[in-house]
Each structure stands twice: as structure tokens, then as C-alpha cells.
Structure 1
Amino acid sequence: MTNNTYAADRTALLVVDPYNDFMSEGGKLFNAIKATADASGMFGNLRALLPKIRAAGIQVFIVPHHRSHAHDFDNWQHINMFQKAGLPTKAFEVGTWGGEFNPEFGPQEGDVIIKEHWAQSGFANTDLDLQLKQHGIQKIILVGLIANSCIESTGRFGMELGYHVTLVKDATAAFSAEGMKAAETNGPMFAHAILTTKELLERLPS
């Protein structure tokens, strides 16, 4: 299914990792993504997109990263590089402001909050596929963070599971310009559509 329409009853918006540590000034990772977020216009585009998505009757799914706890990775055999790098900062630490959802971009009443993913894919070891199927979803639209890790991994996994995948290239950010370039390069390998916020808004149901 590669058409350009987004029927409200078969489409979902996936907002990936909308934590204060990423999306709020003063968050532990805010400065790390700020340059690319400013360049893409991510914050302004999310402000334009989220109300229109909800008004169109499209279901919003919040796809959060695992919140850090003490001793999370003790005795793990294969901790990945990102998990290891995050140990000193304790990003998204449970019980802290940074581990809470950003009030503007996080869940609102009626949104579905998915179980936390441990690494990059919002599908791996979570209930995302089950929740999408139970809601009759065939098309997923991805926004949030990080473009070349969690967004890409979730999109790839979704494609493999048979979903129509849309990337919104100016509603995401990365830790570097190179990361954004990597996402741009890899996107056409798995996404059925790569749109700007403006282009997506033009395709939403009335």
C-alpha cells in the first residue's frame, strides 16, 4: 500500500521519546540535539502537526525509551554503545524531571502509551505491534528522536511487519548533522513516504 492518503481509522502517529531530557531546555540531552532540531525546525513543526493529527481523528501512540534505573545493565553480556555511553548521564532517569514526558509533546488524553523500548526499535520487546493491530492501524507516521537510531529502527521494523511507513523529515533531530544525513540516506530503503510537515498536513483527512 503506497498511496498518499492517510485514513484516520487506519493511520497512527508515533511520537518517539518525547522526554524532558530530550525536548525541554535544561534536559540532559537537549543541547546535544538542539542544533539539528533548530535546523530541521522540529519543535515548531511538531507544534503545527500534533494538534492537526489529533483533530483529524488519527490515533497518537507515544513510543518511549526505557527510563534508567540503578543497576539496569549489571551483568549484561551485550550492552550496546549507546546504552554504555548513557550510563554516566542517566538520561531519562526514573523519578526525575528528565525522565518525565515533555508536557507539550508528550501524551495527551486519548493517546496510547507503549511499553518502553530498551535500545532503538519501538517494536522490539514492547507491545507496539499488538497495540497497532488492535487499533486497526495499517500506516504509521514517525516523528521525534533520534532520526538515525530510534526513528530509523522503528521504521525498519515496522516495514518488515507489513506497515506502511512515513517519515516526517523535518519533525525529527539527531546528535549531529552527520546523523541527519545518515537518516536521509537510509530512509528510502524502508520508508514508503518521506514528507515534510507541510506535505503531510496537506494529505491529512479533513
Structure 2
Amino acid sequence: MVEIAYPRERTALLLVDPYNDFLSEGGKSYPRLKPIADEVGLLDNLRRLDSAVRTAGIQVVIVPHRRWEPGDYEDWDHPNPSQQRIMQAHHFARGEWGGDWHPDFAPKPGDIVAQEHWGQSGFANTDLDFRLKQKGVTHVIVVGLLANTCIESTARFAMELGYHVTLVRDATAAFSHEMMHAAHELNGPAFAHAILTTAELIAALAKGA
């Protein structure tokens, strides 16, 4: 594996959609996600990464999906299939437990919370790129959910904007093995500069420190 340097002042961890509905027992999407999440050790790996990047002095950025509110998408010309599911099931509802942060991944002082994205890219129609550039960020590590939707879309957009992009194969999850395979074996290699495990990334960050 080619060694990659993660400059402390120019690297950010993008934590996508750390909501109770995804990550907590009782969350609306958690039952579908749980088999893959448990298999890869998602929650423990996210906790390890959170600690490692903060110890390394790397910027943490929360990249949240739009919290559902009554009326969302109902008068749109063409809401996408994911938005239609959100409209029907009220995922990540604003003001409800499912739309709150998982307690282990709530923003801490100094974190950036980007504007909520309506689709699948954390960059499209938000202030994420602007906020990162104001911090001089050139390298992004994209983790969270889901591997084949918001993670892939956010990471692809980051590449198009000129960022160095790292995916972490066991710090994300999806609803099936096929989706994980597509995200990391078929699609990811076309745009990501690195696809690592949590252990590999933490080792790289330690070397940089």
C-alpha cells in the first residue's frame, strides 16, 4: 500500500448523517443496516476514528441529511426514490429522536456542522465546500452512511472539486453486501485516492502526528 500523508491542518473528517435513525437501536433504518454494521464493526470503528482524528488535531465536520419536515418533497416535480422513502417514512424527522445525533457522534466544540443536504451529496446546494476552503482543507476522509449513496456521492463530488479523497471501508455500512461491494470494489476505485480500513487509517494518522 502506498503511504499517504494526512497533513493535520489540511485534513478533515467528514462524518455523514450520524443520526439515531441510522445508528441507534429503535432507529427507523437501523434494522436494515444492523447486519452489515455489526459485521464491519461500524459503531466501534466510528468511535475509534473520532478519537484518533481529534487526538491528531484534525477538523471534524458533520455532514447532515435534510431533517424531514411536514410538506417536504410533496410538491416537487421529481423527488428521487430516496426522497420518496423519506417522505413516506419520515426519516430523520426534525424535532424527533430519530433526527437527533447519535449521542456518541454529536458535534463537539470546534466541529463544523455543514448545511443539510437534500439529496445524496453533502456538497450539492450546501456550504460544505466553502467551509472547508476557509479552513484550508485539501484532504477529506469520508465516513458514515450510507456507503453506496451519501458517502459515494459526497466523496465523488469532493474529487470533482479537487480534494484528496479517502474512503474507509469499515467505517460505513449499507443495506446489503452487494451495495458494499459496489461502493468499495467497483465504484470507489474510480474516484477515491485511497480506500482504507479503520486500522490502516489510524496508523497513517499516527505516523503523520
Gap regions ≥5 residues in structure 2: none
Which residue of structure 2 lines up, in the alignment, with residue 200 of structure 1? 201
> What are the Cα deviations for residues 91-132 of structure 1, in whole angstroms up to 9, with x where unaligned?
100110111111102312211000000010000000000000
Which residue of 2 is the match for residue 19 of structure 1?
A: 19
Q: Percent identity?
A: 57
Q: Structure 1 unaligned runs (5+)?
A: none
Q: In structure 1, the residue corresponding to 2:195 is in which secondary structure?
A: strand
Greater CA drift, 124-133 or 40-49: 40-49
Once residues 83 and 51 of structure 1 are traced to their aligned partners in structure 2, the CA distance between those partners, rounded to angstroms, is 33
Once the two structures are TM-superposed, the CA of residue 3 in structure 1 deviates from its matched residue by 6.1
- Which residue in the other structure is 2:115 paired with? 115
Task: Tell me if 1:70 matches 2:93.
Answer: no
Is 2:72–2:87's contact at 8 Å kept on the other side of the alignment? Answer: no
SS at match of 1:71: coil
Answer yes or no: is the 8 Å Cα contact 2:3–2:204 preserved in 1.
no
The match for 1:153 is: 153
TM-score norm. by structure 2 comes to 0.95
Greater shift, 50-59 or 175-184, is seen at 175-184
SS at match of 1:88: helix
Give 4+ residue runs of structure 1 displaced > 3 Å after superposition. Answer: none
Aligned partners of 1:112, 1:85: CA distance in 2, in Å?
Answer: 28
Q: Normalising by the residue count of structure 1, what TM-score does the alignment of the two structures yield?
A: 0.97
Which whole-Å CA distance do the structure 2 matches of 1:15 and 1:92 have between them?
Answer: 16
Q: Distance in 2 between matches of 1:27 and 1:75?
A: 27
Structure 1 residue 85, shift from structure 2 partner: 1.7
- Where in structure 2 are the equivalents of 1:83-98 lying within 5 Å? 83-98=83-98
Contact 2:62 2:111 in 1 (8 A): yes
Q: For 2:14 and 2:106, how far apart are their aligned partners in 1?
A: 11
Tell me the distance in 1 between the aligned counterparts of 2:144 and 2:73: 25
Is 1:105 matched with 2:111? no
* CA RMSD between the two structures: 1.1
Cα drift, residue 4 of structure 1: 0.2
**Which piece of structure 1 moves more, 64-73 or 174-183?**
174-183
Give yes or no for contact 2:20–2:98 (8 Å, CA) kept in 1.
yes
Matched, 1:190 2:191: yes
